[in-house]
Amino acid sequence: PLEAFAAPQSAELCRVSIGQARGFLSKAEIEGWRFETLDGQWRKLTKQSGPRPGELILLASSTGGYDRQLGFTGPPAKKNADPTPPVTLLEAGDSEAMGDDPKSFIDTWVRLEDHTDHVVAQLTRLADALGIDARWRGWLETAARWHDLGKAHPVFQEMLLTPQPGSAQPAADPGILWAKSDHRRGRVKRRHFRHELASALAFIQDRPNSRETNAVAYIIAAHHGKVRLSIRSLPDEKRPKDDKLFARGIWHDDLLPATALGAGQLTDPIELDLSPMRLGPGSWLERCLDLRDATELGPFRLAFLESVLRLADQRASALEQQEKP
């Protein structure tokens, strides 16, 4: 049953310190499961692999230890204490693993160029409402224009365009670059593929290694919360046949086609360069650490800028789904 367990909504979550969590789960009769983001599976906690900071732990409601008014209360004072009352949800999503991209399946086809325009429009509204400074606003607008360029990658387009077995749905036009699909199909052939990494790599290509370039690239890469300070390959990724660099489903020298980004902007074909994943001068890590340590930026402003783009993206996707034909 855990394989099909829906992702929790905020009303179902309770933040607990790591010390409290370890103490609570050390009780002999309490079982817990962690969500493994690498493969999208729930796995039972053991004494050898207890809870870790920042992860999602699932407990049976009969475990107790929670009060709706007080939150986490620790181990029940008595055996057979009343179970935690269920939370009624209007909707639930899928648990999202490292390579999942559920917001790309919204029951309607949306062109990449159109989605980009929609996100930029939502970003503009947010920037106006929040009174964002002109400098940060410019960075955000550029990031919004480039944030989904990586969806033009042939691997991502193949995922969107491949019909379900036995499906009678008419195929979408393969001559159009799509951002959203009208169905829920299989995952990309390259496990852990992250389109936003391809977008960020394309953006820094042939641009100066400046704070502005790197800030925009960071916002692009981080807008799904899967790529931030480091670029690294994962253990079970599909590897290229030669010794090319690879990370998160992107291979060195992958080619992005010429892509319309809206507002009359058209990129040239871009051959992706993964050399920034190496350590040393000009590396992705060096660029991001400079942003983190910059007086005018730092982790909190970076998190704010990342959140603004993510919210604009989510609002645009929600409107696209509401306005489907």
pLDDT in tens, 281-317: 999 999 999 999 999 999 999 999 999 999 999 999 9
Q: Do 36 and 74 fall into the same domain?
A: yes
* DSSP state letter for 137: H
- CA-based R_g, the chain, Å: 22
Q: Do 33 and 133 fall into the same domain?
A: no
pLDDT over 70 (residue 167): no
Contacts of residue 318, Cβ cutoff 8 Å, sequence gap at least 6: none
How high is the pLDDT of residue 1? Answer: 46
pLDDT in tens, 194-253: 999 999 999 999 999 999 999 999 999 999 999 999 999 888 888 898 889 999 999 999
User: Which residue, among 141, 322, 156, has the nearest Cα to 216 in the 3D structure?
Assistant: 141
Q: Do 15 and 51 fall into the same domain?
A: yes
How high is the pLDDT of residue 61? Answer: 76
Q: Do 131 and 218 fall into the same domain?
A: yes
Number of domains in the chain: 2
**More reliable by pLDDT, 56 or 203:** 203
- Strand residues in the chain grouped as ranges (E): 6-7, 32-36, 41-44, 57-59, 66-67, 71-72, 93-94, 110-111, 178-180, 246-247, 250-251, 255-256, 260-262, 265-266, 270-271
- pTM equals 0.75
Question: pLDDT class for 260, splitting at 50, 70, 90?
Answer: very high
Site of tokens 């999942």: 100
How high is the pLDDT of residue 101? Answer: 52
Q: Do 222 and 283 fall into the same domain?
A: yes
DSSP string, 174-186: TTS-EEEBSS--P
Average pLDDT over residues 6-21: 80
Q: Do 151 and 189 fall into the same domain?
A: yes
Q: How far apart are CA 123 and CA 316, in angstroms?
A: 9
Q: How far apart are CA 178 and CA 101, in angstroms?
A: 14
Q: Do 154 and 85 fall into the same domain?
A: no
How high is the pLDDT of residue 60? Answer: 80
Q: How far apart are CA 197 and CA 148, in angstroms?
A: 9
**More reliable by pLDDT, 256 or 60:** 256
Question: pLDDT class for 111, splitting at 50, 70, 90?
Answer: very high
Q: Do 297 and 269 fall into the same domain?
A: yes
User: Which residue, among 212, 206, 202, has the nearest Cα to 259 in the 3D structure?
Assistant: 202
Q: What is the average pLDDT value for the chain, to the nearest integer?
A: 85
pLDDT over 70 (residue 62): yes
Q: How far apart are CA 182 and CA 160, in angstroms?
A: 9
- Boundary residue ending a domain (37, 71, 94): 94
Question: pLDDT class for 92, splitting at 50, 70, 90?
Answer: very low
Q: Do 42 and 21 fall into the same domain?
A: yes
Q: Provide the residue range defining the domain that includes 47.
A: 2-94
pLDDT over 80 (residue 79): no
CA atoms within 13 A on the CB side of 200: 31
Neighbours of 265 (CB within 10 A): 12
Q: Do 223 and 255 fall into the same domain?
A: yes
Question: pLDDT class for 2, splitting at 50, 70, 90?
Answer: low
How high is the pLDDT of residue 90? Answer: 47
pLDDT over 90 (residue 51): no
Q: Do 88 and 113 fall into the same domain?
A: no
- Boundary residue ending a domain (62, 94, 126): 94
How high is the pLDDT of residue 164? Answer: 66
Do strands 93-94 and 71-72 pair parallel, antiparallel, or not at all (unpaired)? unpaired
- Boundary residue ending a domain (94, 128, 145): 94
Residue 64 Rama label (left phi>0; alpha psi -120 to 50; beta): left
Backbone angles phi, psi at 136, to 5 degrees: -65, -35
Q: Do 13 and 125 fall into the same domain?
A: no
First-last CA distance in the chain: 35
